[in-house]
Amino acid sequence: MSDPGIVGEVDHDDYDPFEAFDRAQGAETVADPYTGFGELLSACPVQRGAAGALMGIENTVTLDMPGAGPMYTVFSYRGVEQVLRDHETFSSAGYANSMGLVMGHTILEMDEPEHGRYRRLIQQAFTRKEMDRWEHEFVRPTVNGAIDAFVDRGRADLVKELTFSFPNQVIAQAMGLPEEDRPQFYRWGVEITNMASEPEHGFAASVALGEYFGRLAAERRKDPGPDLISLLTQAELEGQRLTDEEIFAFLRLLLPAGSETTYRSSSNLLFGLLTHPEQLEALRGDRSLMAAAIEEGLRWEPPLTGIARTAVVDTEIEGVKVPAGASIGVCLGAANHDPARFDRPHEFDIFRRQTNHVAFASGPHMCLGMHLARMETAVMLELVLDRLPNLRLDGDAGDVRIMGFTFRAPHSLPVVFG
Ligand code: HEM
């Protein structure tokens, strides 16, 4: 984000991590990766090379697994499902050589059986009961507070004034972070997310966050509260607890995994509805369409278009031979627009017959926060519909588009209402 005003008053130097992140991931240049994904998919569902390079797009930040082997990308829904479900053939361990360098040994880079044990421990902090508490204690008040700030004005930028900030604030509140620490915490989160293009800032943020969480975890062990950090220090499975490093790695992961994605997906959904006013009005009149609208937003414009795996043995995907050691780009964006699975795949249509999409991935690493993300998005949308009558894009605001290659979102959503 080039305008971080809403995330606090941090002014260390001229470096703006929000702006650097946008620049690095193609926010300024890539408007439509879907035509290219579709052409590649129809030529061959699995291709040698990285998606960005195959489409002639340079300098894209991707979630990759740098290794010795050649790079392949899977574009079809069926191929993507195969790779994500078959965790014995396709390992996640390669993330250790990319984001793991900054975040520590996170759940993302674990294979079975370590992954399953860790996931069961972490899940204890994300129960339905906890999500209900988060909804009422953090999500509703946070979204309402953001809307309060602009509701009387009759106009707003829904990205800068709502979607960018609320998922961050929810995570910070769930961790029980003191108010005064939050601006710095958001900044570290963006620097970690952007580490592929700005490694120095990423490493520094990682170390700083480790120290910060270390202090907090020690306090919470002594004097536990109802917050996420306290819950993680107490989670137990068959007599085993999480180590400090395991807890810190998870907490470091939460901002990029939980906030970045949710801010983008809720912005993309609002964009879909605002550019299809008849669907927005249908949803306003019939809230039973809410779940379908959220899933269609995620299918149509997933916030994260690609993830990665490594083939551990010689294998085949969709009839294409892939050698052991190959890095596999898993193109979630292309799979969500695969015409073999979705009619009129490039159209946003909340009335379409619902079928599963892969915005949250699939298989054992399927997003651990998907229920939280859906709840946050539903609350945001419900309050927007309840409190902003006659909502529409501001006709004077110029060209508003979803931009980016791996991470996608509109830069702004200028709206008028009332
Ligand atoms: C719309 C919002 C979201 C999207 C599209 C999304 C997408 C994803 C995807 C694609 C993965 C799989 C990554 C891989 O295997 O390489 C993933 C994993 C994960 N997500 Fe999300 N995510 C979202 C929201 C959240 C939230 C709110 C949280 C907060 C708890 C979260 C926490 C995680 C975690 C911890 C993992 C790792 C799970 C594992 O490795 O077993 N995500 N997410």
Q: From the CA of 126, how far away is ligand 1's center (Å)?
A: 13
User: Ligand 1 pocket, 107 CB below 6 A?
Assistant: yes
Give me the residue label for tokens 């292309």.
334
Choose one of 91, 367, 370 to mutate for the ligand 1 pocket test, by most ligand atoms within 8 angstroms of C-beta. 367
Could you report the per-residue pLDDT of 209-255, keeping only the tens digit for each? 889 999 999 999 999 998 999 999 988 888 888 888 888 888 888 87
Report angle CA 283, 268, 157 to the nearest 5 degrees.
90
Measured in Å, residue 259 CA sits from the centre of ligand 1 at 10
Please give the distance, rounded to the nearest whole angstrom, from the Cα atom of residue 193 to the centre of ligand 1. Answer: 13
List C-alpha distances in Å: 171 to 30, 88, 122, 131, 361: 29, 32, 15, 12, 21
Distance 359 CA to ligand 1 centre (A): 9
Q: Which residue has a Cα nearest atom 7 of ligand 1?
A: 360
CATH topology of domain 13-416: Cytochrome p450 (1.10.630)
pLDDT digits (tens, 9 = 90+) for 258-284: 888 999 999 999 999 999 999 999 999
Tell me if 407 CB under 6 Å of ligand 1.
no
Q: Give, as one character, the DSSP assignment of residue 260.
A: I
Question: H or E segment at 119?
Answer: helix 114-123
What token pair was written down for 160? 């800068």
The token pair at 193 is 């997310």
Domain boundaries, the chain: 13-416
DSSP 3-state of 379: helix
Whose C-alpha lies nearest to ligand 1, atom 17?
367
Cβ neighbours of residue 116 under 8 Å, at least 6 residues apart? Answer: 364
Query: 122-178: per-residue pLDDT in tens?
Result: 998 888 899 999 999 999 999 999 999 999 999 999 998 999 888 988 999 999 999
Q: What is the mean pLDDT of residues 50-59?
A: 86
Does ligand 1 come within 6 angstroms of the Cβ of 290? no
Q: Which atom of ligand 1 is nearest to the CA of 303?
A: 5
Average pLDDT over residues 27-41: 89
Flag whether pLDDT at 205 surpasses 70: yes
Q: Pick from 286, 304, 252: which is nearest to 101 by CA?
A: 252
* Whether residue 304 has its Cβ less than 6 Å from ligand 1: yes
CA 416 – CA 79 distance, rounded (Å): 43
Global model pTM greater than 0.85: yes
- Of 30-44, 185-199, 234-248, the one with minimum mean pLDDT is 185-199
Cβ pair 228, 125 in contact under 8 A? yes
What is the average per-residue pLDDT within 378-392? 97
With beta carbons less than 8 A apart as the criterion, state whether 411 and 263 touch. no
Give the three-state DSSP class for 224.
coil
